[in-house]
Each structure stands twice: as structure tokens, then as C-alpha cells.
């Protein structure tokens, strides 16, 4: 997935700036998050596990641009780094994959659902408390193999990722946001740079998608106010329609027994303020200890 994303950014830059004779070089990194395959990432520090090695190379000058799945990005970046570009967002929906049913509601009682996302785990448990939810780590191919081997009756993945890899044929059904609100920034790719690298920002300006940047900016403001990470079940989605932003946010307890949701509408320029205001409302509704991870 990471190689696909980097290749897509390079292709966009080549097309925008005529760099056919000197295309940007792609450097690959194996991050801590990639190396941990048999345990939950929240035991080791959360979202930053997918970015640390790449950001270290960026700060040292070893690379000039860092391409990330935006939902993997911490809301607070290291000093000296910034998100300078966001590509046009793809499908925000979660995808349901299963040989045992046509949708989550169709699975038999006691079915096993595998997912590494705490958000999805909580949402699935809320929808179907009878399910057994298990940790499902690994890249897309690994998770598809585990499903085919019968380690779970179903799994959930980001529809955008499956589409980028050309694996849509594995999707049993798409889950609409009204049924399962997606992760903050799901479906978006961002490019991180050094704050003082004006030449990189100039290159990236040609491929930045302003509407997507505004929407994920609102979602990340919401997440930042909640102090969210992959250790907390949080969902959020901002959509622009006719010059009006609609923002929806949700928090859940890890076991899915309790959830709070809220919604805001307003001008796009108020997106970050709406996200922050929504987060404050949900924090008040949840009360102290809502996000406390059970020992």
C-alpha cells in the first residue's frame, strides 16, 4: 500500500511539473508499525509507530517528502514538520468482507469478526454484541489470507485501500457512513515536508486538493481536541455539499456498550472550530474516564 501511495504521488508530480526525465526517487522504510504483526499497536504507542522512521529521515534531510495514509498520522507533528499537501479523497467507507454472510447483520449468531481497528471493534460490538471480535493484524494480503483460512468469519477494511490495490472483488458489501462512521481522515493521502522547505511546498501546491484538506482539517481538529489515538474508539467525517460543511463525530467505549454522537453544519471556513466544538460536547457527554483503556 505504501509503495502504491508513493508511486501515485510521484506520478502526479511528474504530470503536474513535467518531470519525466528526472522523476522523484522513491525511498522505502519499514516502520515500527509494519514490524509489529502479532500484537495490538496500542500496546506500543499508537499512530506514531507508522511515521517515526520516515519523519526521522525527513528531519535529517535524507528525504524531502513523506507520503502517508492520513488516518495514520498523529494530530501533533514533530517540530519542524508540516502537512503540506492532501490528495483528493477517495472512498471513505468501510468494506465488509466475508464468505459467511452478505452483510454484518446477516452473519450468524456468535460469528467471529477480525479487525485491528479499535474503532471498528467497538462499532461492531455495538451493532452485534453476540459477535466475537478478534485482533486481525497484517497488510491487506495477510488479512485476506487469514480470512480465506477461516480464522474469522468476516473482516472490515477501508474501501479506499482495497480500491487502490485493485482488490475490490474481495468486497462483499460497502458499509455506508450512516451505519458505521469511518475513521478520521479515512480515504485521504497526505504529504509531509519540512516547514522550511519552500521548494517542496511549491511543487506540492499543484496537486493539493483544497476541499479534502478542509474536510480532514475539521476531522483532525476534532480528534486532536479529544486527544485521540488508535487506543481510543473515535470516528469522524466532514463532507462539503453546496458550500456547506456537515461534520459528524462519534466516541465509543472499547466494548461498544456506550456511544455518543453529534453533528455540526456551517461554512467550510469554520470547519476546525466545528470539529473542536463537537469534541467538547462529546467529552462532556462521556465524562471522566470515558476513554480509559481497561487494565
The closest alpha carbon to 139, from 112, 161, 110, belongs to: 161
Pairing of strands 132-134, 259-266: unpaired
Helix (H) or strand (E) holding 12: helix 2-17
Give the DSSP per-residue string, 58-79.
HHHTS-S-EEEEGGGS-SSPPT
Annotated catalytic residue within 34, 56, 72, 91: 72
- At 177, list the grid cell: 457512513
Characterize 132-169 residue by residue with b for buried, 16 or more Cβ atoms within 10 angstroms of its Cβ, and e for exposed.
ebeebbeebeebbebbeeeebbbbbbbbbbbebeebee
Quick check: is 72 catalytic? yes
Number of separate helices (H) and strands (E) present in the chain:
9, 11
Q: Do 51 and 70 meet the contact criterion of CB atoms below 8 Å apart?
A: no
The closest alpha carbon to 227, from 2, 75, 16, 92, belongs to: 75
- In order of 74, 100, 217, 230, 255, the CA distances from 183 in angstroms are 13, 25, 13, 10, 17
Q: Which residues are catalytic?
A: 72
Amino acid at each position: 500500500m505504501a509503495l502504491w501511495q508513493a508511486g501515485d504521488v510521484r506520478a502526479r508530480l511528474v504530470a503536474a511539473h513535467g518531470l519525466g526525465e528526472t522523476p522523484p526517487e522513491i525511498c522505502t522504510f519499514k516502520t515500527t508499525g509494519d514490524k509489529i504483526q502479532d500484537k495490538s499497536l496500542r500496546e506500543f504507542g499508537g499512530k506514531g509507530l507508522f511515521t517515526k522512521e520516515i519523519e526521522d529521515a525527513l528531519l535529517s534531510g535524507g528525504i524531502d517528502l513523506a507520503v502517508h495514509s492520513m488516518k495514520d498520522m498523529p494530530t501533533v507533528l514533530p517540530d519542524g514538520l508540516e502537512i503540506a499537501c492532501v490528495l483528493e479523497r477517495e472512498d471513505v467507507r468501510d468494506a465488509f468482507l466475508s464468505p459467511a454472510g452478505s452483510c454484518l447483520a446477516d452473519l450468524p449468531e456468535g460469528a467471529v469478526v477480525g479487525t485491528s481497528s479499535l474503532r471498528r471493534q467497538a462499532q461492531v460490538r455495538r451493532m452485534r454484541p453476540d459477535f466475537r471480535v478478534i485482533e486481525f493484524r497484517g497488510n491487506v494480503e495477510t488479512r485476506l489470507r487469514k480470512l480465506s483460512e477461516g480464522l474469522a468469519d468476516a473482516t472490515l477494511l477501508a474501501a479506499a485501500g482495497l480500491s487502490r490495490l485493485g482488490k475490490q472483488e474481495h468486497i462483499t458489501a460497502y458499509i455506508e457512513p450512516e451505519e458505521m462512521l469511518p475513521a478520521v481522515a479515512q480515504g485521504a493521502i497526505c504529504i509531509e515536508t519540512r516547514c522550511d522547505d519552500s521548494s517542496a511546498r511549491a511543487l506540492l501546491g499543484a496537486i493539493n486538493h483544497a476541499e479534502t484538506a478542509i474536510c480532514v482539517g475539521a476531522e483532525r481538529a476534532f480528534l486532536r481536541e479529544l486527544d485521540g489515538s488508535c487506543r481510543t474508539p473515535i470516528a469522524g467525517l466532514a463532507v462539503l455539499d453546496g458550500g456547506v460543511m456537515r461534520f459528524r463525530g462519534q466516541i465509543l467505549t472499547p466494548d461498544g456498550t456506550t456511544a455518543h454522537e453529534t453533528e455540526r453544519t456551517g461554512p467550510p471556513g469554520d470547519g476546525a472550530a466545528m470539529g473542536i466544538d463537537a469534541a467538547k460536547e462529546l467529552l462532556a457527554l462521556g465524562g471522566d474516564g470515558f476513554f480509559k483503556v481497561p487494565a
